């Protein structure tokens, strides 16, 4: 009985399958299905998804369900935007296969659309039911754009060209550095000016300007800061009016002191003080710099004596920003200067409990088999390892929390490996195109990192990491200059950022702007890689030594 039931259900199932199969439809003579694309490929790569990295003279192959009327083949079009690109057609396999080749080369890093329109007909005149549309993006132009230079010549060329920003975008009244090449001309930046002072020292050392001109330019800045610029408990705002010295609000509540930007400024000024060690005007400059640095009331920014420093304070908004300066990020310099201050120092407990969070800033996990001592997973934006370390030399430096040489190198390598493995599949990322940090993007300013990756690379990220990752950074610099130089290399060095991903970012994008806080680290960190100039100057300062000692650092 059981076997009989099994046989019955099995027979019923087979019958249902047979009955459910689609039987051929009987057609009258001359009737055909609408013509359809069976398959399509570009240079042998199937159009399963939109394609990238297509060469500039591709061969496109389309296979159809039926033979095509050659007179209608022009219904197959290759479009760049709304413009039809000229192509050649070749029919094969009884006219059921069409080969399409551009009559002239395609343009690099452009989006093209392949369209099979409804005007396409079979030999008997039957058309297609709907348009068939596919997209692809072409590859980069890999030709070398400039003559080959030695590595030393290339580094000097990059430094010289980048130096032009700090020469040409110095405000005519104050001498302070403008925020960006596209910002309003009276907006000058406190931190960017600190970077600019360091760039001026490189310019003097490299012979881009004379020592007398460098002294004159820095003296103008210092005189303006000391006698004209608005301050709050000795600290400067993020933005100033370069003519009047009044605050320009950075945001609604950020219209007063910015302690971190002030630290970046003082970092640069201390380097200048150490560099200009002569008599006369140089002695006057040192005295003025001391007055500026000594007047910063670092300990006042603890907001009612808390064990942490606060980033902002406003005369009318008070502590409305309410942002604690906690690690790990770009702000280590703030605590070093605060600890070493002559009259307004903070205790080590403010560093340990506030900045380090009693050890909370430690990470210790590995990414790409590389241990990350501090900070968020994957390290965060690369400017964490640049801004404070334009002056602080991390090599051999350690405290209770980490080796800073290991931190700087490993964070940079993790960023490099993230981009070279390219988990989000952005076109163009490679071992020569890497570096995520804060920069302009097509959609505004973004602090890019492996956990906030929008597909935009900032040249400053890899180049400014050269002291930590010399081989990887040099490979990136050479690619940016020689291969992408027609797009990236301009009057003030490399533009701020770019994207090579035509499809994901709706076209390749190359910024046409420059930012002081991105150009500065390029020239300064290349110099630290070459000669340790700024590291040696800053680390020789007595208040820096005092601050590092007080906070428990060793190895400097």
- 280-299 pLDDT, tens digit each: 999 999 999 999 999 999 99
74/179 same-domain check: no
pLDDT at 465: 98
218/336 same-domain check: yes
Instruction: Examine residue 144 and state whether it is found in any structural domain, yes or no.
Output: no
Give the burial class of 225: count Cβ atoms within 10 A of its Cβ; 0-12 exposed, 13-18 middle, 19 or more buried.
buried
The CATH number covering residue 105 comes to 2.60.40.1220
Neighbours of 1 (CB within 10 A): 5
Total count of domains within the chain: 2
Domain end among 76, 105, 138: 138
Q: Which residue has the tokens 């012979």?
A: 207
Instruction: Examine residue 157 and state whether it is found in any structural domain, yes or no.
Output: yes
pLDDT at 20: 41
Dist. CA 312–CA 323, nearest whole Å: 7
75/165 same-domain check: no
221/357 same-domain check: yes
Contact 398/553 with Cβ under 8 angstroms?
yes
> What kind and span of H or E run contains 463?
helix 459-463
Question: Under 8 Å CB-to-CB from 147, ≥6 apart: which residues?
Answer: none
Dist. CA 454–CA 456, nearest whole Å: 6
Dist. CA 133–CA 116, nearest whole Å: 7
pLDDT at 358: 97
The CATH number covering residue 190 comes to 1.50.10.140
> What kind and span of H or E run contains 258?
strand 257-258
Instruction: Examine residue 31 and state whether it is found in any structural domain, yes or no.
Output: no
329/204 same-domain check: yes
Domain end among 138, 163, 184: 138
Give buried/exposed letters for 2-39 (b at 16+ CB in 10 A, else e).
eeeeeeeeeeeeeeeeeeeeeeeeeeeeeeeeebebee
419: tokens are 């981009």
pLDDT at 32: 65
112/222 same-domain check: no
Instruction: Examine residue 17 and state whether it is found in any structural domain, yes or no.
Output: no
Dist. CA 516–CA 193, nearest whole Å: 8
Contact 271/196 with Cβ under 8 angstroms?
no
pLDDT at 5: 41
335/196 same-domain check: yes
Instruction: Examine residue 346 and state whether it is found in any structural domain, yes or no.
Output: yes
- Residues across the chain: 556
Q: Which residue has the tokens 């590389």?
A: 370
pLDDT at 24: 40
Q: What are the tens digits of pLDDT across the range 475-490?
A: 999 999 999 999 999 9
Contact 185/232 with Cβ under 8 angstroms?
no
pLDDT at 128: 86
| Nearest residue to 259 via CA among 185, 155, 345, 337 | 337
Domain end among 69, 103, 138: 138
| Three state DSSP letters for 371-409 | ECCECCHHHCCHHHHCCHHHCCCCCCCECCCCEHHHHHH
Indicate the angle between helix axes 151-168 and 190-206, nearest 10 degrees: 130
Contact 265/517 with Cβ under 8 angstroms?
no
Dist. CA 171–CA 194, nearest whole Å: 14
Dist. CA 133–CA 31, nearest whole Å: 26
Q: Model's pTM, two decimal places? A: 0.92
Question: Under 8 Å CB-to-CB from 231, ≥6 apart: which residues?
Answer: 257, 295
- Give the chain's mean pLDDT: 94
Dist. CA 247–CA 100, nearest whole Å: 62
Dist. CA 358–CA 351, nearest whole Å: 9
Distances in whole angstroms, Cα of residue 431 to Cα of each of 413, 415, 462, 473, 503: 11, 11, 11, 9, 21
| Nearest residue to 60 via CA among 36, 38, 88 | 88
245/338 same-domain check: yes
292/193 same-domain check: yes
Helix/strand/coil for 40 = strand
130/167 same-domain check: no
Instruction: Examine residue 354 and state whether it is found in any structural domain, yes or no.
Output: yes
192/82 same-domain check: no
Distances in whole angstroms, Cα of residue 548 to Cα of each of 106, 189, 326, 393, 400: 58, 27, 17, 11, 12
| Nearest residue to 262 via CA among 243, 237, 287, 242 | 237
Instruction: Examine residue 473 and state whether it is found in any structural domain, yes or no.
Output: yes
Instruction: Examine residue 500 and state whether it is found in any structural domain, yes or no.
Output: yes
Distances in whole angstroms, Cα of residue 340 to Cα of each of 348, 505, 539, 541: 10, 47, 12, 10
Query: Which domain covers residue 416, as residue numbers?
Result: 151-550
pLDDT along the chain (556 residues), means of 10: 39 40 42 86 94 97 96 97 97 96 97 96 90 96 97 98 98 98 98 98 98 98 98 98 98 97 98 98 98 98 97 97 97 98 98 98 98 98 98 98 98 98 98 98 97 98 98 98 98 98 96 98 98 98 98 98
pLDDT at 273: 98
Distances in whole angstroms, Cα of residue 309 to Cα of each of 161, 301, 346, 550: 37, 5, 9, 16
Contacts 24+ apart (CB under 8 A), 418-424: 418/367, 418/368, 418/378, 418/450, 418/453, 419/457, 421/368, 424/453, 424/455
89/161 same-domain check: no
């Amino acid at each position: 009985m059981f076997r009989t039931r099994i046989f019955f259900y099995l027979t019923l199932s087979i019958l249902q399958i047979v009955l459910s199969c689609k039987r051929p439809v009987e057609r009258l003579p001359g009737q055909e299905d609408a013509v359809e694309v069976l398959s399509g490929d570009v240079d042998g790569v199937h159009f399963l998804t939109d394609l990238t990295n297509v060469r500039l003279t591709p061969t496109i192959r389309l296979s159809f369900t039926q033979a095509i009327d050659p007179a209608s083949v022009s219904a197959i079009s290759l479009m760049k935007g709304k413009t039809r690109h000229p192509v050649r057609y070749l029919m094969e396999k009884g006219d059921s296969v069409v080969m399409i080749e551009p009559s002239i080369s395609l343009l690099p890093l452009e989006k093209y659309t392949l369209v099979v329109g409804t005007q396409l007909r079979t030999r008997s005149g039957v058309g297609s039911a709907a348009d068939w549309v596919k997209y692809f993006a072409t590859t980069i132009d890999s030709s070398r754009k400039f003559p080959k230079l030695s590595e030393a010549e290339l580094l000097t060329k990059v430094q010289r060209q980048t130096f032009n920003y700090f020469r040409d975008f110095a405000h005519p009244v104050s001498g302070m550095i403008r925020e960006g090449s596209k910002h309003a001309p009276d907006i000058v930046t406190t931190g960017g000016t600190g970077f600019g002072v360091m760039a001026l020292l490189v310019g003097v050392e490299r012979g881009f300007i004379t020592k007398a001109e460098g002294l004159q330019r820095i003296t103008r800045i210092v005189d303006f800061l000391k006698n004209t610029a608005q301050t709050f408990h000795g600290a400067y705002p993020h933005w100033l009016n370069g003519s009047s010295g009044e605050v320009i609000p950075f945001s609604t509540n950020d219209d007063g002191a910015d302690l971190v930007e002030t630290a970046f400024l003082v970092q640069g000024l201390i380097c200048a003080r150490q560099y200009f060690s002569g008599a006369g005007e140089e002695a006057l400059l040192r005295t003025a710099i001391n007055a500026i640095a000594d007047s910063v009331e670092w300990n006042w920014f603890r907001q009612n004596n808390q064990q942490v420093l606060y980033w902002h304070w406003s005369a009318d908004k008070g502590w409305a920003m309410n942002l604690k300066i906690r690690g790990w990020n770009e702000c280590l310099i703030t605590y070093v200067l605060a600890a070493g201050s002559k009259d307004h120092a903070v205790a080590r407990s403010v560093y340990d409990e506030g900045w380090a969070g009693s050890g909370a800033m430690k990470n210790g996990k590995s990414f790409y088999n590389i241990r990350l001592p501090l900070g968020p997973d994957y390290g965060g934006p690369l400017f964490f390892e640049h801004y404070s370390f334009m002056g602080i030399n991390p090599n051999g430096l350690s405290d209770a929390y980490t080796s800073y040489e290991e931190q700087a190198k490993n964070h940079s390598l993790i960023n490099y490996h993230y981009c070279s493995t390219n988990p989000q599949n952005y076109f163009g990322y490679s071992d020569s195109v890497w570096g995520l940090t804060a920069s302009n993007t097509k959609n505004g300013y973004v602090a890019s990192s492996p956990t906030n990756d929008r597909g935009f690379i900032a040249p400053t990220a890899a180049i400014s990491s050269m002291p930590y990752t010399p081989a990887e950074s040099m490979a990136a610099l050479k690619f940016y200059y020689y291969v992408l130089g027609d797009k990236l290399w301009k009057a003030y060095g490399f533009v701020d950022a770019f994207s090579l991903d035509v499809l994901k970012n709706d076209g390749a994008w190359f910024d046409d702007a420059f930012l002081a806080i991105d150009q500065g680290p390029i020239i300064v960190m290349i110099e630290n890689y070459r000669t340790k100039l700024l590291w040696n100057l800053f680390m020789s300062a007595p208040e820096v030594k005092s601050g590092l000692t007080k906070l428990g650092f060793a190895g400097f």
